[in-house]
Structure 1
Amino acid sequence: MRNRVGALLWRVGLAALLVCGIGLLPWLSRTDPALTVLKTRSADRDPDPAVLADIRAQLGLDSGPLPLLGQWLAGLPRGDAGRSWISGAEVAPAVLQALGASLLLMAVALALALVVAAAVCARTLYLGARRGLDGRRAGGSGSAVLAALPEFLTASVLATVVGVQLGWLPALGWYGPQWTVLPALALALPAGAVLGRLLDDRLPGTFAEPWALAAAARGLPGRSIARQALRRCLPGLLPNLGLFVVGLTGGSVAVEQIFDIPGLGRTTLQAALAQDLPVLQAGALALVLLAAVTTAAARLAAGLLIGPALRDGALTSPHPPTPPARTILPLLHGALLLAVVAAGLPRDPLALDTAARLQPPSTAHPFGTDALGRDVLARVAHGALDTLLLALAVTAIALTAGVLLGLLPRLSGPLVDTVNAVPPVLAALLVAAVRGNGTAAPVLAVAVVAWAPLAAHASALLQQERATLHLTATRALGAGPWYLLSRELLPAVLPPVARHALLRLPGIALALASLGFLGLGAQPPSPEWGLLLAENQPYAERAPWAVLAPAAALALLGALAVTAAGGLRRPRRRTTSSAEAGDTAGEQPSPAPELVSTR
């Protein structure tokens, strides 16, 4: 009971800290809120001192941020979230309406994402149920390519091809169920591919466990074995599924803008850019509350599933041996990516040729040219250096922080919920307000939020690992906490979490570049991949090569990351002799190492 109260207080404190930080945003950025509001209300109006003074008096800005924040918090128990600084309308109805649109979009996207995840894992489930996988993953790298596609690019293609050219579904607006299909599909394809890869990563080891082999030997139907294998893998994935729900609600800003959806992510971003603090604070608070409810539901479901796993622990071998990963595919993907970079580096990425605007691929320009006549191959190659180095650095930081905080679930659980509720764009605005614009702003902003899904994954795997019978027996034989952590828990958790981190590498690269395009980092004409996608997106129908080239580079990066991650496996233990086991037992406080070496 005390632990639950402490976790609740910790969660409330984090939410209050986030809301207070947002309330101080204009003063942290050292800008005049009255001037920002004036520009948003009327961009052509001159910033006359009398007009600015009148705005300050209307909004109560002269009293400072703390009285404003206190007034806003005092109205929340009455359901009063204040009035918008821009429109003057009440905030609560607008935020609730935006939340309703986002929840509907999220529900449809989540259903489609589960279908995509099932398709990704279908071959592994089929082979595992029919003849076993012996720890080998059956899935390929196609899902990695799908996971690496940026959402706004997928949304643009669906809106242009399916909505405009074919006319099958509406491509703009928010007026009924059929308007949800295309934006939900744009969100579901990459999210479902990531979920499917995470599940596909765990299934082979589950099918190689003794209970699955014994069930197959006894002639049980493969459908039943596959169903139980899914049940064994779900507890480690449910926390990430909860994170996806919140991410689909608050992080779908680009998709909402492309399809003109009045969702919560778009409303929050527009309020942040306009420094409309009442709307921004209410939107952030709604995202935090949604994250808390979703995470609580995911943990409750995981606890219900882990209960039967305890009873089945006697039949499980927690770490079945796995064969070495194939090296052909990562070498092939790496060679292709290296060839593209090597071919484009000698070219000038900034050379303009207005006479060769939007030229198709040719011998002179293998990837064509963009709207300013610049060589796309040169820009993709030169952008690879900065993009990949920054993405690798952020991935390494996120992986380290995720694993360390995953070891402390009581501390990291509420922190993960709160951090995941903050869209990367909003995090970048907060970071930029404190540190200013520059290369460090997007790096810090993405790193602040990128560790959350890795920490949730590590925490869920640790919880499931601690529930197995072999760990209970090892602890009962006298193994100490350091032995359990270094020889049992970390070797079991690090490989799947590291593969998860590599799977998110292309998304991190895109997030970094996209934030730079928003003015929170590198500016044009920088050849970052996200900038290339955003710059050439308006010309996707006329010159698709200008968009397909950086998108293909991102997809190739995703395929390389996932196929290379296949080599991250739990190391095999060397079988020890009786004499060696006796020596090891002498070094440890119990014969637990002998138990581990002989299982």
Structure 2
Amino acid sequence: MKTAIGRVLAAGGLLAVTALLPWLTRTDPALTVLHARYGDAPTTPRQLAEVRDQLGLGEGPFTFLGQWLRGLAHGDLGASWVTGADVGADVSAAFGVSVSLMAYAMVVAVVVAVALCLPPLRRGATRPPNGVGAGILAALPEFLLASVLATLFAVRLGWFPAQGWQSPASAVLPALALGIPAGAVLGRLGQDALPAAFAEPWVRTWRANGMPRARIARHAARRALPAVLPQAGLTVVGLTGAAAAVEAVYAIPGLGGTAVAAALDLDLPLLQGCLIVLLALGVTAAVVVGLVRRRLLGPALKAGALPGLAPQRGGGPARRYAAGALAVALLAVIVWGLTRDPLQVDLAARLAPPSGAHPFGTDALGRDVLARLGHGALRTLAVAAAVCAACFVAGVALGLARWTAGLTEVANALPAILAGLLVTGLFGAGMTGAAVAVAAVGWAPLAAHTAALAETERASGHVEAALVHGAGPWHILRHHVLTGVLPPVARHAALRLAPTTLALASLSFLGLGTQPPAPEWGRLLMENLPYAERAPWSVLAPAAALACVGAMVALASAPQGRGERRGRPRRRRTRRTTGPATANRP
């Protein structure tokens, strides 16, 4: 009941804020609509007044919202402010395309996640893998991957269509671009959950009784799946609403691109229609995931029969040494770039290949890529790390509160660009506003992960035993729930460092974040993306830096615990004596 109330309140708040979008951004919607209709043609005050009367903007945002809600109650989403077309028809067409693309992308994501989880599943390992492969794949920019796939398989080889949405073949490349990074995140979470499942007592009992390894692996996968399912549910909505960049590369008329275009044009009826569909999809995915989780876990959630999923033993110092080596190499490149001028423009050296004068080549304005990479490192990594830390704190705090499930679903359905437009109206364009906007929606996956792990921990046997012995709620939270929740959620937050960097870059590219010519890794990617085929070095350096960060984070965040499970008695060291026992001495 609390979850349903939270969903209604959060959805109502989002729609109300959307209705306030023109007033929050301090822009004239009539002027924006005229520019969207007629381009940069000159406008007159009379035209602006006519458009305001036509759109009903003179009566205020809440009057507009009330009229829209009355139409929604009758199944009428209104007409687009820009094209005048029926919003319901436009949203239905875009939704059909996005759902098809989401289904294909989820197939790719599941295949990638299973491939990453298959080695530890076959070994029955109680030690988590290093996660380097998952970290690198998760750090791949979706729009860059989409461009590379289109150039290689569509333009040069001609195997798939380069643009449009005509047949299932048109979905192959965009599904790969969307599904590979999403599958890497799901696979890393699965890699984190499987070792804890294999270390549970029932596995040792089954092995001692000669149970086949395949059967044990199948049940261990089922035991680890509930921790990953909430993230999979959020991924469904994320692939549908946040795929605007990939849809733009392949000219796909999907829901994400439609919502972003409506937000930029201040086409409020179309934007609210897209949000309604995304919210409905998010709630549906959450309900389905909840039913499947309870089907998998059964009555153990209420009976207190689940063992705690505490982190298992990690790898040795080799992982830390590898992470340190990557950090030293990346730091050397950054320091090398800091010695060069990132703003010097040399049009005679536009898109020059790597050479002694420019070791990493130049960009479209002849600026040194190495210099811009080095000078943009602090701004990129520091801001992204701060956003990830804020998302981690907010995600854990809101995930532990059981009434925030509806808020999590709504925040996940909100595209980051729309959040950027709202925040920009309050804080103005700049890195601060972009960071707040990304953090405003970036905590949702971490909150869902926290809620899933916390539910399992609260239903575990050691919590039941602590309650029997009179432990209070704060003691249970601090000593039992958080010890099982914080390590995997922290690794999940670290895994999102590269996607956070790209989200900040997307807002900067739209003029809502860091303003040019300030260097930033994500902005380097997006600015040089049109020249990737002609000058691949212009995007290779920032992409390699992001992949290096992903691998370094995966190695550094691997669990390094002692391998002790909660509830297992520790060995006590006994004091050696050389003489006879002294227990009977006076």
Shared topology, TM-score over 0.5? Answer: yes
Which residue identity lines up with residue 77 of structure 1 in the other structure?
A
1:431-470 correspondence runs (5 A):
431-470=423-462
Q: Is 1:253 aligned to 2:244, yes or no?
A: yes
| 2:130–2:315 Cα contact (<8 Å) kept | no
Pick closer, same or farther for the CA change 1:15–1:376 going to 2, 3 Å.
same
Q: Is 1:40 aligned to 2:33, yes or no?
A: no
1:323-402 correspondence runs (5 A):
323=314, 325=316, 326-402=319-395
Report Cα offsets for 1:399-423 as digits up to 9, x if no partner: 111111111122x211101100001
Q: Secondary structure at the match of 2:339?
A: coil
| 1:403–1:458 Cα contact (<8 Å) kept | yes
- Alignment partner of 2:409 out of 385, 404, 417: 417
| 1:109–1:188 Cα contact (<8 Å) kept | yes
Distance 1:293 1:317 in 2: 29
Q: Is 1:122 aligned to 2:118, yes or no?
A: yes
Distance 1:537 1:52 in 2: 37
Partner of 1:142: 133
Distance 2:314 2:273 in 1: 51
| 1:120–1:139 Cα contact (<8 Å) kept | no
- Alignment partner of 2:55 out of 40, 59, 65: 59
Partner of 1:591: none
Q: Secondary structure at the match of 2:298?
A: helix
Which stretch of structure 1 is more off in the superposition, 474-483 or 390-399? Answer: 474-483
1:96-495 correspondence runs (5 A):
96-128=92-124, 133=125, 135-307=126-298, 309=300, 316=307, 318-319=309-310, 322-323=313-314, 325=316, 326-410=319-403, 412-495=404-487
Partner of 1:534: 526
Q: Secondary structure at the match of 1:521?
A: coil
Q: Secondary structure at the match of 2:289?
A: helix
| 2:434–2:508 Cα contact (<8 Å) kept | yes
Which stretch of structure 1 is more off in the superposition, 338-347 or 108-117? Answer: 338-347
- Alignment partner of 2:5 out of 6, 9, 18: 9
Ranked by relative contact order (alpha carbons within 8 Å, sequence separation 6 or more), the top structure is 2
Which residue identity lines up with residue 492 of structure 2 in the other structure?
H
Which residue identity lines up with residue 61 of structure 2 in the other structure?
P
Give the CA deviation at 1:568: 6.1
CA RMSD of aligned residues (A): 1.9
Distance 1:512 1:67 in 2: 34
Give the CA deviation at 1:316: 4.6
Partner of 1:49: 45
Distance 1:186 1:271 in 2: 24
Partner of 1:584: none
The percent identity for this pair of structures is 54
Partner of 2:22: 26
Partner of 2:582: none
Q: Provide the TM-score with structure 1 as the length reference.
A: 0.92
Distance 1:67 1:311 in 2: 47
Which residue identity lines up with residue 253 of structure 2 in the other structure?
P
| 1:491–1:571 Cα contact (<8 Å) kept | no
Give the CA deviation at 1:526: 1.5
Structure 1: gaps of 5 or more residues: 579-599
Give the CA deviation at 1:240: 0.8
Q: Secondary structure at the match of 1:79?
A: coil
Distance 1:563 1:165 in 2: 36
Which residue identity lines up with residue 180 of structure 1 in the other structure?
A
Distance 1:390 1:44 in 2: 35
Q: Secondary structure at the match of 1:327?
A: helix
Give the CA deviation at 1:482: 1.8
| 1:148–1:554 Cα contact (<8 Å) kept | yes
| 1:211–1:316 Cα contact (<8 Å) kept | no
Distance 2:13 2:307 in 1: 44
Give the CA deviation at 1:543: 0.5
Give the CA deviation at 1:567: 3.9
Pick closer, same or farther for the CA change 1:166–1:302 going to 2, 3 Å.
same
Which residue identity lines up with residue 305 of structure 1 in the other structure?
L
Q: How many residues align?
A: 568
Q: Secondary structure at the match of 1:566?
A: coil
| 1:495–1:568 Cα contact (<8 Å) kept | no
Distance 1:511 1:386 in 2: 14
Distance 1:159 1:576 in 2: 58
Pick closer, same or farther for the CA change 1:320–1:71 going to 2, 3 Å.
closer
Structure 2: gaps of 5 or more residues: 574-586
Q: Provide the TM-score with structure 2 as the length reference.
A: 0.94
Give the CA deviation at 1:480: 1.9
Report Cα offsets for 1:89-146 as digits up to 9, x if no partner: 1111111111111111001100110001011111111111xxxx2x312354122111
Give the CA deviation at 1:318: 4.5
Which residue identity lines up with residue 273 of structure 1 in the other structure?
L
